[in-house]
Amino acid sequence: MAPELTVGEKAPDFSLPNEAGNMVTLTSLRGKQVVLYFYPKDDTPGCTKEACGFRDSLPPIRKAGSVVLGVSLDGQESHRKFIAKHGLPFSLLSDEDAAVSKAYGVYVEKNMYGKKYWGIERSTFVISPDGTMKAIFRKVKVDGHVEEVLAALKS
| Backbone phi and psi for residue 53, each to the nearest 5 degrees, phi listed first | -65, -45
| Phi–psi pair at 138, nearest 5 degrees | -115, 160
pTM over 0.85: yes
CB 89 within 8 A of CB 79: no
pLDDT of 112 higher than 90: no
The 10 Å Cβ neighbour count of residue 92 is: 25
3-class SS at 121? Answer: coil
Q: How far apart are CA 20 and CA 98, in angstroms?
A: 19
Give catalytic status of residue 52 as yes or no: no
Model confidence pLDDT, tens digit, residues 87-111: 999 999 999 999 999 999 999 999 8
Give residue-wise pLDDT tens across range 28-66: 999 999 999 999 999 999 999 999 999 999 999 999 999
- Which of 47, 135, 140, 150 is catalytic? The answer is 47
Please spell the DSSP secondary structure of 20-88, one letter per residue: TS-EEESGGGTTSEEEEEE-S-TTSHHHHHHHHHHHHTHHHHHHTTEEEEEEES--HHHHHHHHHHHT-
Domains of the chain in start order, with CATH, are 15-154 (3.40.30.10)
124 pLDDT more than 70 = yes
Nearest Cα to Cα of residue 140 among 49, 18, 25, 33: 49
